[in-house]
Amino acid sequence: MSDQKVYVGNAKSIKTQYGDLLKLSLTAEDVEKLQGNLDNGWVNVVVKERREPSASGFTHYLEVDTWKPSGDRAPQESTSTSAPEPVAASVPEMAPEDLPF
C-alpha cells in the first residue's frame, strides 16, 4: 500500500438540460500517471470536491485510489461444489431511446 497521494486532473461541475455533470480535464502527464497506476488493467480514481473553486473554475479534483487489501488474510475456500455464479456486467446496456442525444 502506498502512502503517497497521486493527484490527476481536475473537474468542473456543469449544469445541462440533462442534469449536473462533471467535466474532467486530464493532461498527458495525468494520463501517464494513470497508466503507471494500472493494476490488472484497471485504475480507480476518486473525484473529490474542492473547498473553493479554483481560479479556472474547477470545482473538483481527482485522486488515484492506491488502496490495496493487505495480504494478511487467506482467501476463503468455497465449500460449494456447484459452478460459480456469473458476474453481472459492470455497465448496464442502454437502449437507444435512453441516450440523451
Give the separation between CA 91 and CA 23, rounded to whole angstroms.
20
The pLDDT of residue 23 is 96
The pLDDT of residue 71 is 77
What Å distances lie between residue 85 and 80, 82, 88, 89, CA to CA?
11, 9, 9, 13
Q: For the chain, give the percent of residues with pLDDT over 70.
A: 68
Name which of 70, 66, 57 is nearest 13 in CA terms. 57
**What ranges do the domains of the chain cover?**
1-67
pLDDT in tens, 47-71: 999 999 999 999 999 999 998 888 7
